[in-house]
Amino acid sequence: MSEDREPVLSVRGLKKHYPVTKGILRREVGQVKAVDGIDFTLYEGETLGLVGESGCGKSTAATSLLRLEEPTAGEVIYHGEVPEETNRKTPLEKLRTIRGDDEAREPNDVVGFSQSQLKRFRRKAQMIFQNPTGSFDPRMTVGESVAEPLLIHGLDDPTERREITEDLLERVGLDADDYDRYPHEFSGGQKQRVALARALVVNPEFVVADEPVSALDVSIQSEILSLMRDLQDRFGLSMLFISHDMGVIREICDRVAVMYLGEIVEVAPTEELFRNPQHPYTQALLASIPTPDPRQRGLGIELTGDVPSPDNPPSGCRFHTRCPKVIQPDGLDLPQEQFRRALDFRHQVEGGDVDADGATELARARQSDAATGDITRDDRRRALRAEFDLPDELDDPAAEESVAAAVDSVLDDDLESAGERLSDTFTTVCEREKPELERTDENHVAACHLVDGSETVETATTEVADD
């Protein structure tokens, strides 16, 4: 659906890494890879949703593609009219040119824009923020805040600024008299209307909306969403809409990009994505939408394990530590759930999160109050297995042998050999190889080893999504 439209903005391999520094010399000891190479294209007049859990890098992606933060790497190609270079370089830019560490960039790459170009570019790209309270200067009237972009971009006539602002305030459903009121006199929904006005006032080509309705009541959310849709239709805006709420995404977006730990794992038109999600993470997200039907309660896919830290993301497919559909090696033939549990056990052992004392504690906790007998080694074995939801006997003999040996090693406090034993048996291609984004349908791409594989991804979630 979007192929025949003109692209507005193409993001290519955008990365934003935050250095983790230590000591007074600010020695870099690591990096938080908040955004680690994302690609997408925003087309004219469309709303592209960017969805993912909290902390997966959605907002960082937004701020770095607008260069509110300098991206670490990547290109942001702007397809509109590139502001001309007014050849006034700031001292910092000059220094950078002298040092020559600025790689050659396309002339229409936002990352390569000079400060003067960037300022002109800002008029065409506006942003809306999540927190309606924090995004207004408490010392400025609402009107001054809305008119500020006009002033910044050189509209010097105060009367004209005021007229434009009052007109716009009325068009977003407020009153012209609100110009002289202060932000704290408004409710959250009203403030978000003002935020819309501020984003629109310089007539931008596209708007990045960073969770614009997450802080609002549900009833207000739909008002704001329909206002956004109206304004978008009227002015032909493109929008990058960031949210963690699949319900909101479904309501407003034309296409959706799903992010996990700084990477995009799936992009598809909204209908297609909800009907036929390809990536297991998308499926899990969709399954997490609460349904009003009490009979369908709890059929969702549950994710196990913690969200990995972005300063040390997992190798291969980043989702493999939590993926319910993680691929088994050829030699094994376990039920999927058991394999998942065994992998969780392995990660915990490797991470040093279990030990013999812990197992004793677990066993003691499992013993009912009445039982007073000593804790046998068998008790502890069972407790450890129960903790990881591992059945007493795995279905595959090779796997069972490995788990049993590992449990014994753990009880002997020999985590190293336990880890070795487990990692020999429970391996997965997801951990070794990084899946590329693959096209499954005309407009549908997903990054998973299962995609294009023999397994067809038809799950219970499709029913949920189809209502």
Instruction: Name the residues that contact other proteins, by CB under 8 A.
Output: 24, 63, 66, 68, 118-120, 122-123, 125-127, 129-131, 133-140, 145, 148-150, 152-157, 160, 163-164, 166-168, 184, 195, 198, 200-203, 235
CB of 207 to other proteins, least distance (A): 10
Closest to other proteins by CB, 182 or 360: 182
Residue 299 CB coordination number (10 Å): 13
CB of 97 to other proteins, least distance (A): 20
CB of 390 to other proteins, least distance (A): 45
CB of 200 to other proteins, least distance (A): 7
**Residue 169 CA to chain centroid, in angstroms?**
32
CB of 6 to other proteins, least distance (A): 19
CB of 418 to other proteins, least distance (A): 45
- The four Cα atoms 276, 245, 32, 447 give a dihedral, to 10 degrees, of 0
Q: Are 183 and 145 in contact (CB under 8 A)?
A: yes
Closest to other proteins by CB, 60 or 409: 60
CB of 326 to other proteins, least distance (A): 39
Closest to other proteins by CB, 64 or 278: 64
CA-wise closest residue to 162 among 178, 183, 174: 178
CA-wise closest residue to 38 among 4, 2, 68, 72: 72
Closest to other proteins by CB, 172 or 273: 172
Amino acid at 13: G
Closest to other proteins by CB, 102 or 160: 160
Residue 54's contacts (CB-CB under 8 Å, 6 or more residues apart) are: 244
Residue 73's contacts (CB-CB under 8 Å, 6 or more residues apart) are: 13, 14, 15, 37
Closest to other proteins by CB, 134 or 247: 134
| Structure tokens given for 437 | 């984004």
Amino acid at 64: S
CB of 456 to other proteins, least distance (A): 44
CA-wise closest residue to 258 among 275, 244, 271, 276: 244
Closest to other proteins by CB, 135 or 328: 135
Closest to other proteins by CB, 164 or 399: 164
Closest to other proteins by CB, 20 or 371: 20
Closest to other proteins by CB, 168 or 457: 168
CB of 64 to other proteins, least distance (A): 12
Residue 103 burial by Cβ neighbours in a 10 Å radius (0-12, 13-18, 19+): exposed
Amino acid at 385: R
Block residue for tokens 């109206």: 230
Closest to other proteins by CB, 94 or 234: 234
Closest to other proteins by CB, 62 or 343: 62
CB of 188 to other proteins, least distance (A): 12
CA-wise closest residue to 42 among 227, 232, 286: 232
Block residue for tokens 């007539």: 203
CB of 212 to other proteins, least distance (A): 12
CB of 147 to other proteins, least distance (A): 10
